[in-house]
Amino acid sequence: MSWADLGLPDAPEPSGNETPAPRPRKEPKPPKEPKPPKTPKPPKPPRESGGQGDGEGGSRTPLILGIVAGVLLVAVVVTLGFALTRGSSTASPADTPSSDASTATPTAQPSPSPSASSDAVGVPVALKFGGTGFTLVDKNAKTVFSYEWRDKAADAVTELTAAFGAAPTQRVEPGDGSSYPDYAVYQWEGFLLYDMVDGTGGAQRATFTQPSYATFSRNEVGPISMTAEHGLKIGSPVTAVRAAGPSQEVPRGNVGSIRFIFDQSRSSAGPPVQYSMIADTDGSTVTAVLYYFAAGG
């Protein structure tokens, strides 16, 4: 049917500028259900610098560090285990430290060193004679007291009295009044010490050639052994005296007695004063040893 059949004019041709009819309104879509949040990815470890790039070198570094750390941990555990095992196996109940301070073991005191004890001087055991005087020595041959012929005799008398265990008797032996002085004589059983009286006989002790001298007729005086030179002692046979090589052999007034002078050239006014050693015999054995100034050497 057309517009003419209806008695209506024909519809105009569309020009293309007509306003389109409004579109029917769409129904709103129902809201979508929210998606569950995604699990965040762990951050990537930082890459090691050093020029290895992005290859396999960078990914191996954590693995190497982990291996090294594991080795070190194992070494520490083994070392601690060995130390604890060794300490527990060697310790005894007596060695376990006590927590009570009152039961603590006192610290040991240091013992004297051998050098300190070896330097100590003991009691005298012998009286050794020589050209310049005599010396009291201990069992280790260390000097206890030393006397030279020009020394004052008072100190020697004190030391000898202590060593011999007895005081001497005293007397004065007169000189010739002109050139030979008087002597104070200190006499023990078997030993005599002569000390000149200064100024007597025109002699001065500071310059006289024989300010003091000594003689002994026993091998022991108290606990002290008498020790002469050349290995001679009281009772040595004349053959041993001659074998020692004396400087001179002089017959004495008594029948058969002989005086043997050793080191005669040693006698000197010094300083220090020096004497010769003289061995008096009865013709067969030594009866006395004298340290004296032997002139004519």
The three state secondary structure string of 146-185 is EEECCCCHHHHHHHHHHHHCCCCEEEEECCCCCCCCCEEE
What are the residues facing 135 on neighbouring strands? Answer: 128, 146
Nearest to residue 280, comparing CAs of 253, 296, 261, 295?
A: 261
Element (H, E) at 80: helix 56-90
Q: What is the pLDDT of residue 270?
A: 87
Q: Is 86 helix (H, G, I), strand (E, B) or coil?
A: helix
Q: What is the DSSP secondary structure assignment for residue 113, as one 8-state letter?
A: P
Q: What is the pLDDT of residue 32?
A: 63
Residue 167 token pair: 């005081």
Q: What is the pLDDT of residue 94?
A: 46
Q: What is the pLDDT of residue 228?
A: 97
Q: State the Cα–Cα distance between residues 211 and 198, nearest whole angstrom.
A: 9
Q: Is 161 exposed, middle or buried (0-12, 13-18, 19+ CB in 10 A)?
A: middle
Q: Is 221 helix (H, G, I), strand (E, B) or coil?
A: strand
Q: What is the pTM of this model?
A: 0.61
> CB–CB of 124/137 below 8 Å?
yes
Q: What is the pLDDT of residue 25?
A: 62
Q: What is the pLDDT of residue 97?
A: 46
Q: What is the pLDDT of residue 191?
A: 98
From the first residue on, what is the mean pLDDT of each consecutive set of 10 residues in the chain (297 residues)? 52 52 59 59 54 50 70 67 59 48 56 62 97 97 97 96 98 92 97 96 92 98 97 97 96 89 94 96 97 84
Q: State the Cα–Cα distance between residues 102 and 152, nearest whole angstrom.
A: 61
Q: What is the pLDDT of residue 119?
A: 80
Q: State the Cα–Cα distance between residues 225 and 124, nearest whole angstrom.
A: 10
Q: State the Cα–Cα distance between residues 276 and 265, nearest whole angstrom.
A: 8
Ramachandran area for residue 245 (φ above 0: left; ψ -120 to 50: alpha; else beta): left
